[in-house]
A and B are shown apart, each in its own frame.
Chain A
C-alpha cells in the first residue's frame, strides 16, 4: 500500500508541477519522463468479473496486480476499477472462493474496459460470503451500526446509540429517558425488533424508553421510512433491528468484559459476556451476558438536575443447537431499570408550568447536589423476553424458520403524592405472545424471495390507575416478497395483509363496564428498483407503505396529562393510519477519496393521528387546562439525509452527516409540532494505523461537532406550545481510542467527550426543556477486554 501511495503522490506532484511551473520542470527533469507522466499515465481499467458458464457477476472477487502491488475487490455487481495506470502490459491475477485462480494479460494503451471470466472449481464449495457496509441489498435506505462504530457508543441508552445515523434523532424526557425518532416519527410508529422479536412494551408513551440492553447487540440496523411488509403493521416511520452476535461455532470458551465510567452524572457501567461451544458436542453452544449500570444526578453547566439518576440490571442467556440441516435456539433476557425524573418537572397546573418557564431554572438549582439516590417521581420498568427459534434447510426448496416469543412488560410509575402510600400511581402489565414463520425459497433463476405469516396475541392489565384500559388484541398477518436481479438492475416487490382484533374493557364514569370491540385490517406493500450505473454509482427508488391501527390510548385516554399540562381526550371512532413512503437514493461507494450517500424521501400519511388543540379549556380544581383531542389529518414528512466521507490524506477522514426534515399537516395547512430540526454533524478523524509502538494498534483520534438549528417550523395557526422553540446550538465532541497489548491480551481503551465547551443549551425534542438546561460537559472512559479461556 505504501509504495502505491508514494508512487501516486509522485505522479500527482509531477502533474501539478507540469501544470504550474513548466520552466522549473524543464530544468530539473529530463524531457521524456515528463511526457510520460503527463500523457501516458492516469489511465483507467474497469470491467466485471463473471462466471464463465452462467455469465453471473461475481461480487467480492479479488484482482491483484503483482507489478504494482495493487488490488481491487469487485462490488456487489461484480465491477472492478483501477485508476492511475500507466501505458503498458499488465498481468492480473483474479481470485474468488469456489473458482480457479486465473491470470490475464492486458495491454493498456488507453482507458478501457475488460471483463474477466472465471471457471468454477469443482473441488471447492460454491459459497461465498459478501460483507461490506456499502453494499445495498434493498432499494430502501438502511444503516447498520456494528464493530468499532458500535463500540464507541457503549454506555449510552439505545436511542442515543442510534443518534449517530443521519435521519435518526432522539426524543427525550430529561437525561434518563430517550426514544429513537426516525424521519420525525417515533413511539408506536417505529418498530423495534429485539433479537428478531417485535418489542412490545408500552411504546405509545413519549416518556417510555425502549426496554432493551444495547450491550446485547453486536449490530444495530435502522430501516428508514415505512417498512410494513416484512416486519408487520406499525412500522410507519421505520424499523430498528437489534441483533446479537451469532452463537459461537468453534469449540472453546471466550468472553468480553466492558468497563465504563463517566464524569458529570458519574455513570458506572459494566457488561460481561461469556460464550462457548462444546468440543464433544459441536452443534451445542451457549452464551450468558449481564449488564449493570448506575448513574447519579446529571449536571448542566450551572447546576445539578435533581433526581435524574438511573439504575439498570439486565441479564440474558442463550443456548443453541445447530446442525447443517436444522437447528434451534432458546433465548431469555431480563431487563430491569429505575429511571429518575427531574423533581421539578412534576407540575400540577398550567400556572405551575408557566412559573417554571419564567423562572428559567429549577427553584432549588443553586442548592442541588450530586447523589445516586432516586426518589419520586420515578419509573420502574421490567421486561422479560423468552424466545424460541427453529430452522430447517429444506434441501433444494429453501429454508424454513419459526420464531416464538413471549414478553412481559411491567411498568410502574411513582409520582409525588400525599400520605405514606408507597404503591405506584400507575402499574401496567402487558403480556405478548408472537409467532412468526418465514420460508425463504432458494433462488429460482433471477428470483429470490420469501413468504411468511405471523401472529400477535396481547393482553394489557392495570392497577392503581385506569388511564389505559384493559385490552386484548389478536393480530395475524401474511406476506410475500420477491426480488428479481439481472445484470445491473434489481427489482423487488412485496405485499402483506394484516388483521387486528381489539377488545377493550373500560369503566364508564357511572362505573358500568363497557366492552367495545374493533376490527382493523389493511394491506402494506413495497416496490423497489435499484440500478447500478457503474463507476461505483447505484441509484435506488422505493415506494413502501405501512399502516397502524389506533392504540388503546388514542381511542380511550381521558384526563389531565400532568407532565404535559394538557387535558387529553381519546376518540373511540379513530380509523387506522396509513403511510406511503417514496424514497430516492444515490450511493457513491468504494472510491479512494470521496464516498457518500444521499437519500431524499417523502412520507405521506393518511389519517395521521395527532393531538389537536380544542377551543374550550377544561376547568379543574387546579385551574384551566388547554384541551387536546386525538384527531386525524393527512400529513406529509419530506426530507433528506446526506452522508459524505472524504479522505483528505492517508488515515485522515472528514465525515459529514446532514439531516433535513419538513413536516406538514395538510388539513390545517400548518407545520406539525415536535418535529426534529435540521442537524449537521461533521467530524475529522485520524487513524494512526500500525505506526509506532508494537504494543499499540488501531489508535484513532476524532474531533467534531454537531450543529442543530432552531426549529422554526412550528405550528403557526394555533397556539400549541407553552414556550417558543429553543435557540440552535453547537456541541463540540472529541474521542480517542487504541488497543493496548499486555503480552497476548489485548485491551481496547477509549475516551469520548461530549459538549466539551460546556455549552448551555436546550433541545426542542426534550420534554424537560421548559424546566432546565441540558447536561454540560461529559467525559466517558471505556475499557473493553476480550477474553479467551481456551487452553491453547
Chain B
C-alpha cells in the first residue's frame, strides 16, 4: 500500500479499522468517507467507506429506497450530505456546486432522462463541450473569436452522434427522440464533456432489449478508452454482463461488495434484494424476462 499517504491521507490505521465494509482498491479514483444523509428520521445514505477503482465498471445494486440515487446526488453535488468527505483523484469535493464537480471530470446522467427538448440533438451535444470561449457573455457577440472553436465542437459532436447512431437525427429537436434514443443521447452528451468518471443512473431503464445491447456495447467501449464507470442498475443480467465490481446497498448502507459472481452468491444479498426462487424444484431458467 504505497499510495496510502499521498492519495488517501484520511486512511489512518484508526480509519481503516473503523471502516471494514468498504474494501480498499489498488488505485481508487473516488474515495468516500463517513457519508451520511438523513431525510427526516430516515438515514437515506449512511456509508462509512467506499472506494471506486479507476478504469473499472462498477455496478451499484439494491432494492428501491436503498439510497443509490441519493448517493449519486451526493457524490455529484446535486444534494448535500449531513456529513462526510469524498475525493475525486485526491481532490476534496465537499461543498462544491454540481457544475464544479462536473468540470473536475465526474459527469452524471439522470434516471429520468433530461434531454433538452427544444434544442436540436446537435445542440444538446455541443452544449456539453467544456470551456468554450463563446459561452462567455463578453465574447458572445464577437463571433470571430469563437467561430473556429464552434466548428471543432460541432465536428466532435457529429462524430459522437455517428458513433451512437444518432447522426441522422442531428438537426431534429431532441424532444422528438424516442425514450431509448434519449438515453443514448444523454450518454453521448456526457461523453462530450470529456469525463474521467461517468455516473449512469439506470442507463437501461425503459429501453428495449436491442437498444440495451447497443447501450452496453457503448459502455464497454467507453471503459476500454479508460473512462471509469459507475452505474445504478436493476437488471441483473446487465449487471452480470458488464460490471467488474458490484456494490450492494440496502437501507442506505453498503451490504457487501465484490466481483459479480461472488456477490450473487452472497446469502445476505439474496435475502435483501435478489430473492429466492419460490419453487426450487422447478427449473431456474425461463422465468426471468
**Is B a genuine binding partner of A?**
no
Interface residues of A, Cβ cutoff 8 Å to B: none
